[in-house]
Amino acid sequence: MSSSLARSFVWLALSEVLFNISGYVVHSAAGRLLTPEDYGRYGLIVTLSIMVITLIGNGVPIAMSKYLSECSEKNPELVPLIKRQGLLLQGAVIGTIMLLFYIATPFISNLLHDQTLIPLFRLSIFILPAYAIDTYFFYYLTGLRQFNFQSVLKILRSVLRIALIITFIYFWQLKGAISGYIVVPAIVFLVAWIGDSIQNRGRFTQKPGAHFDWKKLLHYAWPITLFMIFYEVLISLDLYFIKSLTHSDYQTGIYNSALLIARIPYYLFYALTIILLPSVSKTTSENNHAESQRLVSQSLRFMILLLIPIVTLIAIYAAPSIRFVYGAKYLEATTSLQILAFGIGCLTIFYVLSFALNGAGKNKVPMWIAFAGMLLNAALNYVFIQRYGIVGSAIATSITSVCVMVASVGYAHYHFQGVMSLASVFKMILAALAVWIVSLFLPATNLIFVLWSALLLGVYVATLWLLREINTADLVVLKNLLRKNPKPVPEIAEAEEAAL
């Protein structure tokens, strides 16, 4: 991966980590400041509202980012037009969702047997446009590949979540919590709008007669929307199957603790999807297939290079990790976490490659793979949970994850004409094996596993160096991450220029 893209990834990943930490802080504060009853309502209302906007409201902005990335340099006069069309379509979609949500609130409240939820659900309707406009601007910046600006906005949003939502809860309880989720994205959008007006002033001017068919946005958006829905169901249904088949809140809670820790790699590498979609879209629109292949293969290698030791360490230190995060009463989740670490790692590769394929215009391929994976995961969970309990669910999800990963890697290998060297993967697995062997001599008690993890990362890097998988160019990229003004070297300068 080029130095500039690697730096962007680091900043985006850092902002994503801070964003998720802010979420945990807000939930912890809400649990302490609200009564258990109000905290339960808070979880239902906010989760439902954000889930709706995340699953349905991302299609048009992602489509907009693709076409912006293709024309921002070749046809900059189209940027204001695409931006305006994206805003109008996003407004139409969200307006429709708001109306349907308003009509449905009595029915949802009846299903939950609580009529007092109706005014709260109707207040939460305003979360939808606030998040929608924020998401719209986020993907607008993605299309322009202004990743550092995105990182700043994400960090700002994390700070505002903690400062404003907790303050609103303190003064206005449950209604304050809901209002906070309206105010925070609205403020971030306002900052983004002002920043864009300053940063991009005069850069994009629409010319008379400029034309862009808005139907392209819809045609590209609907497979993305279905992909998001299928993928969300795929990664969530194991928890619901456990609740349904075991009838045990205890087993559901134990499994959920393993699931949340296992998803750490997903949160880290989500940032890579933001970089890949516009970058691959740009090189694809230029018919520069060699650079598309180079970009995807370098990104995939970079991801797997980091993903394998993370997954290995989570599996090795599953028990102390659970004890540290949740306490000893959740140690029953250890085996499930060891299995899920591998499965979620594979699922992360699928998710990232899906956005590379989306950028290449093959957005229906990830959609169908996610759909097949959703059905397979449902069938396997139904069978395995009844036989092996929560461990069976972890096995089922991991089998499904391997299948969708293989399908996506196979198609990406075919489309981009090679994305990953099997020899490189084999060397990384050997390095992970070396890490596991050394870990047998480093028993983990309390927080000492953090120190051992750092040591084992050194073992992993040293092994790859001895196997000549890590080279001088990799070290230059690493050094450039720490430099204020990175200096490209001959081995990677050409790749950097093409990727940007």
Residue with tokens 């206005």: 172
* 288 has a pLDDT exceeding 60: yes
Stretch 220-246: mean pLDDT, rounded? 89
Residue with tokens 């890579």: 272
Residue with tokens 């990953």: 420
pTM: 0.84
Res 477: pLDDT = 62
Which range has the worst mean pLDDT, 199-208, 261-270, 299-308, 355-364?
199-208
Work out the pLDDT band at 224, boundaries 50, 70, 90.
very high
Residue with tokens 């081995």: 491
Stretch 251-274: mean pLDDT, rounded? 87
Count other Cβ atoms within 10 Å, centred on residue 5. Answer: 24
Work out the pLDDT band at 1, boundaries 50, 70, 90.
low
* 41 has a pLDDT exceeding 50: yes
Res 3: pLDDT = 63
* 220 has a pLDDT exceeding 50: yes
Cα separation, 278 vs 79, in Å, equals 14
* Helix, strand, coil share of the chain (percent; to 5): 85, 0, 15
Res 490: pLDDT = 46
Between 471 and 296, the more confident residue is 296
* 46 has a pLDDT exceeding 80: yes
pLDDT digits (tens, 9 = 90+) for 386-405: 999 999 999 999 999 999 99
Res 497: pLDDT = 42
Cα separation, 12 vs 5, in Å, equals 10
* Structural tokens at position 461: 């890097």
Res 489: pLDDT = 46
Helix orientation angle between 79-111 and 36-56, rounded to the nearest 10 degrees: 140
What is the overall mean pLDDT for the chain?
87
Between 286 and 388, the more confident residue is 388
Stretch 265-283: mean pLDDT, rounded? 87
DSSP state, residue 207: P
Work out the pLDDT band at 97, boundaries 50, 70, 90.
very high
Work out the pLDDT band at 347, boundaries 50, 70, 90.
very high
Q: With beta carbons less than 8 A apart as the criterion, state whether 351 and 405 touch.
A: no
Helix (H, G, I), strand (E, B) or coil at 206: coil
Nearest by Cα to 181 from 143, 140, 134, 136: 134
Helix (H, G, I), strand (E, B) or coil at 227: helix
* 276 has a pLDDT exceeding 50: yes
Written as one string, the DSSP assignment of 282-294 is: HHHHTT-HHHHHH
Which range has the worst mean pLDDT, 69-73, 149-153, 333-337, 339-343?
69-73
* 337 has a pLDDT exceeding 60: yes
Longest dimension (CA), the chain: 71
Helices (H), 34-146: 36-56, 59-71, 79-111, 117-124, 127-143
pLDDT digits (tens, 9 = 90+) for 402-422: 999 999 999 999 999 888 888
Res 445: pLDDT = 72
Res 390: pLDDT = 93
Residue with tokens 């239902």: 44
Stretch 93-104: mean pLDDT, rounded? 93
Res 52: pLDDT = 85
Stretch 428-445: mean pLDDT, rounded? 91
How large a percentage of the chain has pLDDT more than 90? Answer: 49
Res 483: pLDDT = 56
Res 106: pLDDT = 92
Burial of 405 (0-12, 13-18, 19+ CB in 10 A): buried
Q: With beta carbons less than 8 A apart as the criterion, state whether 180 and 169 touch.
A: yes
Residue with tokens 């690697």: 6
Cα separation, 476 vs 245, in Å, equals 52
The length of the chain is: 500
Between 292 and 485, the more confident residue is 292
One-letter amino acid at 353 equals L
One-letter amino acid at 112 equals L
